[in-house]
Amino acid sequence: EDQVTQSPEALRLQEGESSSLNCSYTVSGLRGLFWYRQDPGKGPEFLFTLYSAGEEKEKERLKATLTKKESFLHITAPKPEDSATYLCAVQFTGGGNKLTFGTGTQLKVEL
């Protein structure tokens, strides 16, 4: 069965304390892996798409990487405004345009 698992469920960091979020997947064939950010009371906001192992994408303090089994979202020197829930989703072969989401990592960055 196709599954997406994110860890940790929650993460508390001090401002400037770098860390990584994990998204592991078991799918029959990966077409794409997506990272979204969700703020309370809002819809998910698109961050990155990764298509093949070895691919990396960067945006400000965020960097996403992809291997054959997992993806990491690295947060370098985070700021309080990076606090949000980060969601990972996959599209898999035979799944059409369906996005299967993980349950997310709730990140809080404190001063």
Partner 1 sequence: DAGVIQSPRHEVTEMGQEVTLRCKPISGHDYLFWYRQTMMRGLELLIYFNNNVPIDDSGMPEDRFSAKMPNASFSTLKIQPSEPRDSAVYFCASSFYRGHEAFFGQGTRLTVV
Q: Which residues bind partner 1 (CB under 8 A)?
A: 31-32, 34, 36, 41-46, 49, 87, 89, 91, 96-104
Rank residues 14 and 97 by Cβ distance to partner 1 and give the closer one: 97
CB atoms within 10 A of CB 83: 16
Q: How many CA atoms lie within 13 A of 80 on its CB side?
A: 2
Is the omega angle on the peptide bond into residue 80 within 30 degrees of 0, that is, cis?
A: no
Rank residues 17 and 58 by Cβ distance to partner 1 and give the closer one: 58
Q: Can you spell out the DSSP letters for 38-97?
A: E-TTS--EEEEEE-STT-EEEETTEEEEE-SSEEEEEE-S--GGG-EEEEEEEEETTSTT
Query: Minimum distance between the CB of residue 36 and partner 1, rounded to whole angstroms?
Result: 8
Query: Minimum distance between the CB of residue 9 and partner 1, rounded to whole angstroms?
Result: 11
Query: Minimum distance between the CB of residue 44 and partner 1, rounded to whole angstroms?
Result: 5
Rank residues 10 and 77 by Cβ distance to partner 1 and give the closer one: 10
Query: Minimum distance between the CB of residue 109 and partner 1, rounded to whole angstroms?
Result: 22
Rank residues 51 and 80 by Cβ distance to partner 1 and give the closer one: 51
